[in-house]
Structure 1
């Protein structure tokens, strides 16, 4: 009995020893962060709380949508996210945009809600940065989709955007045409503070 236990123990030690001898190099990753209980107050440019905002776009002609691209858009509407009452020590704020229901990952635009009666076919919405130094299109739902950051070191800042109609990625003139109708969609934003 003693011999079997000793042999089993020796085998276990030899097995563990050979496993640890084959281990890869090890390193150390250090994480730094902070927790705050306050964030900025966020409103739109007309003073409305930005938790649930509706932005009404102008009515445009079907031919205007057919004649534009996702990088330009037509019927644009500008809007802002105004940040106030930002805590001390917070230098910047930025927003990323997602839409589980309406993101068109083919081109980073927003699909129109097909459940709305009388909706337009093959018309999407594109979101763009509208800051003086950054007019790039935001790719909804794609990683790193927004580069604009507001300076909030004084306790306030502004993020400027615009939204416009664009043809969907599925649109093919004469085969899969744009049709007239309503365009309804939504996007969620997540604010990141640094």
Structure 2
């Protein structure tokens, strides 16, 4: 009975307390919808494609940070209409992406201590792309699509996370085309 009285007293004490808040500011959100986008073909395939990297020796990937087997691939954009001016690929986050490094994990291959790293072949420095990172909206090269078509060149390479072991490397990444 005492517990019930104490509980009722606590509820009654807090029932009279009202939270107060004052307006501090306004946040405005702007965006744009485009009537059309571009058609995409990756390396002469469809929008869903498979890129085959060369076979390399584990002797080329013995310590963390070493890269090998850089392989180029192109995203061909066509039928770009409307108000579109420039475009680039945005590589999304997902289960195959290491969210800390932005590199692609070896999700179903048998090699160990190895992943894949994407690079922006349009940039003068062949800049590293961190998949899943919003910095891609400003750090990747946008290509002119005002003529109705364009080519977006990228590279992918093996990236050692440590001393690698022999086996297969299999990964994937979802992408979207971003426009400015």
TM (norm. structure 1) is 0.73
SS at match of 1:185: coil
List alignment gaps of at least 5 residues for structure 1.
1-15, 172-176
SS at match of 2:164: coil
Computed over aligned residues only, the root mean square deviation of the Cα atoms, in angstroms, reads 2.5
SS at match of 1:86: coil
The alpha-carbon distance between structure 1 residues 180 and 99, as it changes in their structure 2 partners (threshold 3 A), is farther
Distance 2:73 2:52 in 1: 10
User: Rg larger in 1 or in 2?
Assistant: 1
* Residue 98 (1) aligns with residue 92 (2): yes
Distance 1:25 1:184 in 2: 50
TM (norm. structure 2) is 0.78
The alpha-carbon distance between structure 1 residues 158 and 181, as it changes in their structure 2 partners (threshold 3 A), is same
Deviation at 1:100, TM superposition (A): 1.5
* Residue 49 (1) aligns with residue 46 (2): yes
List alignment gaps of at least 5 residues for structure 2.
1-17
After TM superposition, the structure 1 stretch with the greater mean CA deviation from structure 2, 129-138 or 81-90, is 129-138
Contact 1:68 1:74 in 2 (8 A): no
Contact 1:44 1:79 in 2 (8 A): yes
Distance 1:36 1:179 in 2: 47
Q: Please list the CA deviations of residues 137-166 of structure 1 after superposition, one character each: whole Å capped at 9, or x if unmatched.
A: 011222213522111111111211000111
The alpha-carbon distance between structure 1 residues 77 and 28, as it changes in their structure 2 partners (threshold 3 A), is closer
* 2:164 matched residue in structure 1: 178
* Residue 121 (1) aligns with residue 112 (2): yes
Runs of 4 or more off by more than 6 Å in structure 1? none
